[in-house]
Homo-oligomer: A and B are copies of this chain.
């Protein structure tokens, strides 16, 4: 399984009343299909999966799979319980996803030991309908998948990768040195170039849903051995990130709007961005010269 390149962690469109807009999702994917993206993560953190009910999640998985055919399809299927995750993974398998991206369970933090993570991911990988990428995002979960846990789980033949959104470069270096077989897809756009230097296979990026080509440029320059070009492309995305990242998914969705796709409002409890923040996000995105590549 080849998991390299840049994947967009796509957003889930809602109308102002908070209802799911599958047609908007379809339009976004149609536009993304014309980009250099390697594929999509559907129902990740950027997709507000945690704010959807089961039926909505299935509908999003179905729609995105249909509209994204031809690119690599990854499904976010984590629930807090193993049985919930198995259920969602089974749903995703019906629609043609290549693999499931499964965030660490995390609510009962004291219970999330090395043994518990190993038991969880092993039983999942044994029983799930799709190969598994682990997904570590301590800034949101408050738990961290330790290096030794990752290395132990990487022995399982159906655990094929890791989405690593800890921002921990020390861990990334040690991990890719120890286990070059595991696909490690990083989650931070601001550090994509040094992460690739450190051995990451690729990236799953929220920014990929707003400015896909700007992200792909960084990776392409790196693959071409063009250090100066990669640095320059890396620097080019910083202003956009600084504008939207403090506003969580509401900010990302404003950037998706600015990129020429449909972002729209987040679902409560997240509040839409202020007019001032929206203007700043649009200005920073315009500086990216990205809107030229978007849906038209």
Contact = CB atoms under 8 A, between A and B. Distances in A.
Given A172-B194, A173-B190, 17 more contacts: A50-B80, A81-B269, A82-B269, A83-B267, A105-B269, A107-B140, A108-B269, A110-B248, A111-B248, A111-B249, A117-B269, A123-B268, A173-B194, A173-B234, A173-B235, A174-B238, A177-B238
7 contacts: A81-B269, A83-B267, A108-B140, A109-B139, A113-B271, A193-B197, A225-B227
A267 B81 contact: yes
A288 to B, nearest CB: 14
A289 interface: no
Interface in A57-91: 80-84
A55 to B, nearest CB: 10
A53 interface: yes
A194 B173 CA distance: 9
A116 interface: yes
B169 A268 contact: no
A54 B54 contact: yes
Question: How many copies of this chain?
Answer: 4
Interface string A82-122: 11100000000000000000000101111111011101100
Interface in A18-52: 18, 45, 50-52
Contacts of A119: 268-269, 271
B199 A231 contact: yes
A229 interface: no
Given A107-B50, A270-B111, A197 B194 contact: yes
Contacts of A80: 50-51, 269
A173 B269 contact: no
A142 interface: yes
A12 to B, nearest CB: 11
Contact of A271 (B116, B169, B225): B116
A198 interface: yes
Contacts of A198: 191, 193-194
Contacts of A190: 170, 173-174
A247 interface: yes
A167 interface: yes
A191 B177 contact: no
A291 interface: no
A25 to B, nearest CB: 18
Interface in A235-287: 235, 238, 242, 245-250, 266-271
